[in-house]
Amino acid sequence: MKAKDPVCGMTVDSSTAPARGTYGGQTVYFCAQSCQRTYERTHPPDPR
């Protein structure tokens, strides 16, 4: 499945994405860990 990195807008394959996290009950995929860190500054991970 293809997903869009919410930070840089790059399209990534969800099965091979270098980084991912769960936010608001949904899995978000990133092209790199640096994009994930940028996203987490304003979207803390779910406490689960």
pLDDT tens figures, 6-48: 999 999 999 999 999 988 889 999 999 999 999 999 887 666 6
Question: With 90 as the cut, is the pLDDT of residue 5 above it?
Answer: yes
- What pLDDT does 48 receive? 62
How many distinct structural domains can be found in the chain? 1
Whether residue 13 is contained in a domain is answered as yes
Question: Any idea of the CA torsion for 25, 31, 37, 43, to the nearest 10 degrees?
Answer: -30
pLDDT of residue 25: 87
pLDDT, residue 42, reads: 87
pTM, two decimal places: 0.86
Residue 8's CB is within 10 A of a number of other CB atoms, namely: 14
Does a structural domain hold residue 45? Answer: no
> Is residue 17, in this structure, part of any structural domain at all?
yes
Query: Which range marks the domain in which residue 34 is found?
Result: 2-40
Res 33: pLDDT: 97
